[in-house]
Amino acid sequence: MSHVSGSRNGSGSSYCCYLSSMSADRVLHRSPVPAIGGFTLPPWLAVILRKLRQALLSDEEKRLLHLVEFAIATLGAPLLEASDLEDLERRLDEQIERPEMNNLLGLMTASFPAVAPETTPAASDVAAAPAPLLGEGLQGLLREGFRLSEAIAMAIGRLMRSRGPSEFQMAAEQLSADKPLGFLEDPSIPPEVAASWLAGLRANVLMFALVYPLIYPQTPEPWLLRSIAEQWIHNERLYMRFLASIPEAQVPLDIVPAEERMDLEKLFGQTADAARQLEDLARKAIDSGADVFPPRDEPDDA
């Protein structure tokens, strides 16, 4: 482990000890974008799909589309081989931990400033193209999924304009360098926030899987497509909670109600306190010379 004791003291002065995009002070004070930039592919794909229909792709959008196609084939396709729901979840966890995931998201993040949406599409425009191709029964789910994707894209776009495109370039570089899922174990990141980021990653892969049949000749079983669509929406909502908790993202209340938003300052503060206490525990263990500290177990443990 590279993040040793003392690297997280809450002041930010020792931040350089731990090069991660998932830093508390980045999220709260300096740059929230690196923490979220890579987890937003579904909205990008929504943007691309929308523009595909208008035949208006720029060179940067063509580059992004090529990356998206590669991600769909590499990360999305394995989900379509799932034999049941448990297998689907297992495959999903496998994909989000692949190094290729971080690399692809890093490359895609670099493209975001060039493709970030500035306007909300008309409701009738969202998901109009892919829904029939995946089956009429999914139309309602897809419409909701793309509505959320567009909301995420708009929120990220507002953050980017607020913080500047350079944040995304930095995020792109750090994403490619980060250990997959490294934020899970980062003691400075509140578990609630990490759960939201995890959902963002899952939403990406689920989206890759969902779009696969639009590009390649494969017809997944209806139950599987429905499960993927339902999980995609569920994970998008979880991810949206985090975005909605950043005021500059200006997420509408009808997307994420006030009671579902996180108090990020409070959460990061509590996590910093807990991290210090766990570190104290480790120091006591070292000072005591004991193999295990505290050395006793619960008297009635089976």
Partner 1 sequence: MPELAAPAARDLVLLPLAEKNRPAVVLRVLEDRVVVLIYGTGTLREMPRIEVRPETRDGKALGFYKPTYFYVSGVRAARAEILIRTGRRCPPELFLKLRALAEQTPGDG
Binding site for partner 1 (CB under 8 A): 1, 4-5, 86, 89-90, 93, 96-97, 181, 184-185, 187, 191-192, 194-195, 198, 270-271, 274-275, 277-282, 284-286, 291-298, 300-302
**Of 222, 75, 86, nearest in space to 141 by CA:** 222
**Of 101, 22, 112, nearest in space to 64 by CA:** 112
Residue 99 beta carbon to partner 1: minimum distance, rounded to whole angstroms: 15
Q: Which is nearer to partner 1, 59 or 298 (CB)?
A: 298
Q: Which is nearer to partner 1, 6 or 140 (CB)?
A: 6
Residue 229 beta carbon to partner 1: minimum distance, rounded to whole angstroms: 20
Cα–Cα dist 161/174, whole Å: 20
Cα–Cα dist 58/92, whole Å: 32
Distant-in-sequence contacts of 250-254, Cβ < 8 A, 24+ apart: 250/155, 250/158, 251/151, 251/155, 252/151
Q: Which is nearer to partner 1, 73 or 278 (CB)?
A: 278
Residue 60 beta carbon to partner 1: minimum distance, rounded to whole angstroms: 32
Q: Which is nearer to partner 1, 53 or 283 (CB)?
A: 283
End-to-end CA distance of the chain: 32
Q: Which is nearer to partner 1, 36 or 115 (CB)?
A: 36
Q: What is the CA radius of gyration of the chain?
A: 21
Backbone angles phi, psi at 8, to 5 degrees: -125, 90
Q: Which is nearer to partner 1, 145 or 182 (CB)?
A: 182
Burial category of 280 from C-beta neighbours within 10 Å (exposed 0-12, middle 13-18, buried 19 and up): exposed
Residue 27 beta carbon to partner 1: minimum distance, rounded to whole angstroms: 17
Q: Are 21 and 169 in contact (CB under 8 A)?
A: no
Please name the amino acid found at residue 177. Answer: A
Q: Are 168 and 113 in contact (CB under 8 A)?
A: yes
Q: Which is nearer to partner 1, 59 or 291 (CB)?
A: 291
255: left (phi over 0), alpha (psi -120 to 50) or beta: alpha
- CA contacts within 13 A on the Cβ side of 223: 6
Residue 259 beta carbon to partner 1: minimum distance, rounded to whole angstroms: 19
Q: Which is nearer to partner 1, 138 or 189 (CB)?
A: 189
Cα–Cα dist 273/275, whole Å: 5
Cα–Cα dist 84/221, whole Å: 11
